[in-house]
Amino acid sequence: EPGDHQAYMRYALSLARKAPPKPTNYCVGAVLVDEASNRIVSTGYTMELPGNTHAEQCCLAKYEEQQDIKEIGPTDTASKRLVLYTTMEPCNKRASGNLPCTETILKSKSKRNGGIQTVYVGVKEPEKFVGENAGRAKLEEAGIGYTHVLGLEREILAVATAGH
């Protein structure tokens, strides 16, 4: 339901506002949702975790940490359908040389619950740092959906480029 997508993307944007503006990256927010239960299972924003970290990277690292800690109980057997909302599309190349989030998302396919099924993005990455972001094709080739959630582009870019 488009309304839900916008609501989750708007929440991701509220997280992006917490990122410390920097001239060398974008301020992004990410929300991991279990579509089977319509619950938020993790969140992240740029630089939330120590180091030069991306929103999606933080969101997924926190989720993995949570999964490793949680006792495997009856609730864990319920099948999840994980989807990732991110205000800017996952990076496919980073000027720092760090692991791109597209790779991290692809690796999630081999994890419990079959990893991330769909990525919902607010905007494509501008070509300022690394040229055109070609991550969409890689995600779709791996069977991961890529859906652009319309309507928040102007606000998302204003927050993303706050440090520029």
Ligand X SMILES: Nc1nc(=O)c(N)c(NC[C@H](O)[C@H](O)[C@H](O)COP(=O)(O)O)[nH]1
Q: Which residues are catalytic?
A: 56
Task: Pick the closest to residue 28 from 11, 42, 13 (CA basis).
Answer: 13
**If binding is defined by CB under 6 A, does position 26 make contact with ligand X?**
yes
SS3 state of residue 111: coil
By CB under 6 A, which span of 22-30, 66-74, 137-145, 147-155 interacts with ligand X? Answer: 22-30
Place of tokens 């339901």: 1
- Quick one: 13 or 88, whose CB is closer to ligand X? 88
Say how far residue 48 (Cα) sits from the centre of its chain.
13
State in Å, rounded, how far the first CA of the chain is from the last one. Answer: 34
**If binding is defined by CB under 6 A, does position 102 make contact with ligand X?**
no
Which pair of tokens denotes residue 15?
Answer: 């997280």
Which residues between 49 and 88 bind ligand X (CB under 6 A)? 52, 54-56, 86, 88
Rounded to a whole number of angstroms, the minimum distance from the CB of residue 40 to ligand X is 18
Task: Pick the closest to residue 116 from 70, 147, 160, 71 (CA basis).
Answer: 147
**If binding is defined by CB under 6 A, does position 28 make contact with ligand X?**
yes
Q: List residues near ligand X by CB under 6 A.
A: 24-26, 28, 46, 52, 54-56, 86, 88, 90-91, 94-96, 98, 101, 125, 129-130
